[in-house]
Chains A and B, each alone.
Chain A
């Protein structure tokens, strides 16, 4: 029987295999940030332990930092957390891209950008969206702080091999439909539980046609479908993305590596525990209406009413989501007014996301009742966008143009949505209170967010794109 990508990645990292035990897996790259690491370092210190391979660790600060006036962290506890990471990295000899670094950014944006994320690696981070790195054919998953400590001390983790799911997406996406819509559609149709206990391989022509940045968006939100991780077979696009990046292998070594990486594909006779087939042409621009990512509909949709539920539990969850989100049920999504727009987060803050959104924004003005911010995923993305003049398009339209960080994705810094306000957000979680207590989050793609900023309400971005550039029959990501 053939092997899947997941089998291959798994088997090549097993350090020890014993009966009645999980496998001991070797970890090739450990990414760290300020929020989930302090207690792990404290644990090491308490037991007088060292970091086994500081050279395989890499740290940045992103969750808790300001996106304006970044060196002036007003909140004492936030500042302490940032200083603690600096101190820990210094003491244990770990490379850190701190606030003053030109490479600083959201951990899942800078890993790929710096060529740390490579095909074939096992990658962990104390952050659930580590699944993002699977877009490169890496086995990448989020871990808790105890596991962070374990990896620091041993460079390994005890893991039971999850089940495997192949999600095949075939065909061409419609005009104005993006990778974000694909993953939202998947979660809307299969639920936040669909991937629990699984690693997903995304395959099919739609995925192959995706750029690396689109693939990252897809893998990023696989955790919202409950999956432990997700992977995509690396191909020429992957190799050319990686080539020349700071920490990527150089020249002859690079070519050798490419030959190895080409083997990271699922064999044609490989067997998955579950296969889901999706037709790309079924997918429309999506947005969430409720408080879990599966409470999500096409822009043409109508918010459900509690009566439509199949069970008492579902009725209760619809009722509580409706009341939190300020809906009665039966409203049309198109036309729902928003007060905030956030373009950012590790899901959608890369250069192509900003370029796509800027196409919608160009020559327009942000609606007077909307406060809109763009938070590039990294300082590099910010500089590149500025090099292309993208920031001017946003600034001229009335957007705020910020420094990089997690920002309004989780509102640990000052970037918070006030109680009762609605936010069109390109991030990944719409849980109650995520963007601020009582904040109402609607997850959308960058172009849908841009359209909401201009119109002050949700609209079908496709009609805006049509009038802007009637030549384009499908808005293609970069």
Chain B
């Protein structure tokens, strides 16, 4: 996985709360045994009508949101199942950053493990990302994980918190398992002590 530093991109908004993983990637697409190619099924039931034709009213089907790399959404994004197919689908579709008021725990971890940066901002801050609220202009944002900051086109800056360990992991694009394997002695020691006690 390549490292994550700074990204400038277009942000699509999906202004809904409690978007669950069944909406992000419906279960009929969980039967594959690889990680690739889930993007076309992202938000499937919202993106397509029953007969498979595109739903023109759905936010991500609007011409102006095409090519977005940032997704702005509401509270409790990614609630529900632990399926990692959800971040695989988001990433495959092209999203590298998700900005939300809050995330479900497992989903948050799953994002980080797949090189997607989940950012928590307050409802007010999320409002302020939009430089022009009267017309729904798609914001372009610059996100620096290094500085833990989101900057909009007007130059407003929004700081976000991020766990230092996961930050390091994302920035360096480390393979977490290789890192942990260096703890082999400690793991062995733990196992040994457990047997003895």
Contact = CB atoms under 8 A, between A and B. Distances in A.
Given A21-B165, A433-B45, A26 B190 contact: yes
B137 interface: no
Interface stretch (B2-10, B17-25, B59-67): B17-25
B183 A292 contact: no
B183 A16 contact: yes
Interface string A127-160: 1100000000000011111110110011110101
A74 interface: no
A193 B76 contact: yes
Interface residues on A, range: 35 or more
Interface in B66-105: 74-76, 79-84, 87, 102, 104-105
Contacts of A149: 177
A429 B187 contact: no
B31 A146 contact: no
A39 B34 contact: yes
B173 interface: no
A146 B183 contact: no
Given A75-B31, A196-B104, A144 B82 contact: yes
Interface stretch (A76-84, A171-179, A382-390): A76-84
Contact of A78 (B22, B31, B191): B31
Contact of A22 (B20, B75, B165, B191): B165
Interface string A78-116: 101100100000000000000000000000000000000
A153 to B, nearest CB: 5
Contact of A412 (B31, B76, B181): B31
B33 to A, nearest CB: 4
Interface stretch (B107-115, B140-148, B149-157): B107-115
A432 interface: yes
A64 B31 contact: yes
A466 interface: no
B82 A77 contact: no
Contacts of B175: 47
A459 B110 CA distance: 41
Given A22-B165, A432-B22, A42 B183 contact: no
A401 interface: no
Contacts of A20: 164-165
A128 B80 contact: yes
Interface residues on B, range: 35 or more
Contacts of B87: 144
Contacts of B110: 144-146
A307 B176 CA distance: 49
Contacts of B80: 128, 429, 431
B31 A411 contact: no
Contact of A146 (B23, B84, B104, B194): B84
Contact of B23 (A153, A411, A432): A432
Contact of B177 (A21, A47, A412): A47
B82 A156 contact: no
Interface in B24-39: 26-28, 30-35
A437 B47 CA distance: 13
B180 A193 contact: no
B106 interface: yes
B57 interface: no
A313 B17 contact: yes
B50 interface: yes
Contacts of B27: 410-412, 434
Contact of B82 (A36, A160, A292, A434): A36
A272 to B, nearest CB: 18
Contacts of B33: 38-39, 42, 80-81, 84
Nearest to A85: B33
Contacts of B20: 292, 429, 431
Contacts of A126: 82, 84
A15 interface: yes
Nearest to A78: B31
B123 to A, nearest CB: 9
B74 A26 contact: no
Contacts of B26: 433, 437
A228 interface: yes
A192 B186 contact: no
B106 A144 contact: yes
B106 to A, nearest CB: 5
Contacts of A410: 22, 27, 81
Contacts of A47: 175, 177
B22 A142 contact: no
A146 B45 contact: no
B75 A127 contact: no
A204 interface: no
A16 B163 contact: no
A24 interface: yes
A39 B30 CA distance: 11
B35 to A, nearest CB: 5
Contacts of B105: 162, 196-197, 226, 228
Interface string A310-321: 000100110000
B15 to A, nearest CB: 8
A20, A192, A419 — most chain B CB neighbours (10 Å): A192
Contacts of A16: 183, 186
Contacts of B177: 47, 49, 149-150, 153-154
The 9 closest A-B pairs by CB, nearest first: A146-B113, A77-B31, A38-B33, A144-B110, A145-B84, A144-B84, A142-B82, A431-B22, A128-B82
6 contacts: A126-B84, A144-B109, A146-B84, A156-B183, A411-B27, A412-B28
Given A26-B190, A39-B84, A150-B176, 11 more contacts: A77-B31, A128-B80, A145-B110, A149-B177, A150-B177, A154-B177, A196-B105, A412-B27, A412-B28, A429-B20, A429-B81
Interface of B: 16-18, 20, 22-23, 26-28, 30-35, 45, 50, 74-76, 79-84, 87, 102, 104-106, 109-110, 113-114, 163-165, 175-177, 180-181, 183, 186-187, 190-191, 194
